Amino acid sequence: MVERRLRPFAPPRVHPALGVDAALLVGVLLLLYALVRAAPAVAGPIAHAPAISLSPASLPGYVGLSLLRMTAAFAASLLFSLVYGYVAAHSAAAERILIPLLDILQSVPVLGFLSFTVTAFVQLAPGSLIGPQLASVFAIFTAQAWNMTFAFYHSLRTIPRDLGEAAALYHLGPLERLLQLELPAAVIPLVWNSMLSFGASWVFLTASEAITVSSHTILLPGIGSYIAVAIARGAAGPVMWAIATMLAVVVLLDQLVWRPLVAWSHRYQLTANAPTGEEPTSWALTLLTRSALLPWLGRHLAAPLERLRQRGAGGLEEVGPLRPWVGRVAGALLLLAAAAAILPALWHLAQAMAAMPAAVYARFLLATAATLARVLAAVLLGALWCVPVGVAIGQSRRLTAYLEPVVQNAAAFPANLLYGLAVLLFLRLHLSMSFGAVLLMMLGTQWYILFNIIAGTQALTGDLLEAGKVFGLRGMERWRSLILPGIFPSLVTGGLTAAGGAWNLSILAEAASWAGHRLVAFGLGSLITQAAGSGQEAHLFLGILLMSATVVGLNAVLWRPLYRLAESRFHIE
């Protein structure tokens, strides 16, 4: 009988240590001081927006402001993921609408969301930097939320049946089921996908920190705008400083945030048949377990929350399950509200698109085909080296211990920091941007394939590997009969996420620049970038519509059949 370990959702246990508490208090005070100092740059008047300085001394402050925006976007993404994923998983009627809608939303490029929402955000606080700041946070939100939402939704849908039956047997109410079963079951996927989503949003800082309103561009102080200005001026020194700073930030976030979360989340593993290898550890989490301040806060905060939870759970049990028509009415009201807000703008865009000549449509269709070819080429070329390397790392505990953190940090590093230097290299080598754009896409997407291959290889059970030895599988026969079938589901997942990243990166990769030298590859990404820069809303909407339709169609024609094949023929029981 397989033993399942499931613990209620709770913070890690702690033990007292005065030095740790002193460090926590100092850290909190420094954070509050930094927030006070950052207030003028966050909420001051637009007329007094500070110019971007390329001095290395300004980089720590810029990194802090960017992290502030990304943290606000991450908090909104987490809340959105929990609510959206919960409703989609628990309502069949809502699921039929919300999941296809989420599929469309994740196919819309970040630049598209930013272009069509920035005016509305700016009008919320005219003349103040608050509006552009909100627009920037929303743009980062769109780079984080969809992946996290899918992770939470799939976690709820794949909770083991015996655990669901146990929750029903113990008559857990909706709130108790959420806190004692569903959130713990979703912790590990949420942590890993949060790490990937947060890292991916670094790439779009250059776009989200440059807010264009009425042909006037506002550069919000941050590492993204610093990089954009340095590339525009062709300043190699500041670009190298930015790369070194980002490497330090990625490593620090990994050590102080993500690795402790990964180690903590491991306690919520559902099955005893975990991937082989040692449990993840974190020196930062070990230090936190010696704090006396955290349990004191826990005692004073947990008691009121527990009373509130009990009252809420009792109230939900008295009310009982919601009637089916309640979900339908709520969904209909939401759709009507969205239609009232969106339809007028869509009507205006439809009229503008109807007036466009047929040659424009033909050009966009050809550009879509060109970008599709580059996306598939980037995924294929990435898989050619990621599969053998990922299998080698996943089969060796020593290589996993040394190289898996490197892979995680490489995936979190914003690849577009290297685009300016890559353009300079392409100019010197006279390399065509049609092929160069594929290489730039690979820089930001290949890590997803490698990461999934490592995880898939580690998930191969010892019994399968031992059976391969018993049957004398060697060389290519071992790859054909054991390795490739075993990692096929992970390869499909890696290919899907890499393709999604490549579509978004096409906006940056197909139109890269360095010191006034702009290399453009004909494709949908470059046409969207040009339309956004020139304010051609109809062209921009057409490009986003084609990109979304192509991504959704590719998912239906290629990736979903591959997923079904993985589930039916290559699923490990």
Residue type, 527: L
To which H or E segment does residue 518 belong? strand 517-520
Closest CA to 136 of 32, 44, 206, 31: 206
pTM of the predicted model over 0.85: no
pLDDT computed for residue 311 by the predictor: 56
Taking only the tens place, the pLDDT of each residue in 537-573 is 888 888 888 998 898 888 889 888 887 887 677 655 5
What are φ and ψ of residue 234, in 5° steps?
A: 70, 30
Categorise residue 261: left if φ over 0, alpha if ψ from -120 to 50, beta otherwise: alpha
Q: Give the count of alpha carbons within 13 A of 358, CB side only.
A: 0
CATH superfamily of 37-270: MetI-like (1.10.3720.10)
Taking only the tens place, the pLDDT of each residue in 289-325 is 777 777 776 666 666 655 655 554 454 444 444 455 5
pLDDT computed for residue 319 by the predictor: 44
Taking only the tens place, the pLDDT of each residue in 108-161 is 887 777 777 777 787 787 777 888 888 889 989 988 888 888 888 878 887 777
Q: Is the pLDDT of residue 73 over 90?
A: yes
Residue type, 6: L
Residue type, 504: N
Task: Name which of 8-12, 338-342, 465-469 the model is least confident about.
Answer: 8-12
Judging by beta carbons within 10 Å of its beta carbon (0-12, 13-18, 19+), is residue 359 exposed, middle or buried? exposed
Question: Where does CATH 1.10.3720.10 sit in the chain?
Answer: 37-270, 356-573
Residue-level length of the chain:
573
Taking only the tens place, the pLDDT of each residue in 195-241 is 878 887 888 887 788 776 656 677 888 888 898 888 888 888 888 99
| CATH class of this structure's domain 356-573 | mainly alpha
Contact 221, 52 (CB under 8 A): yes
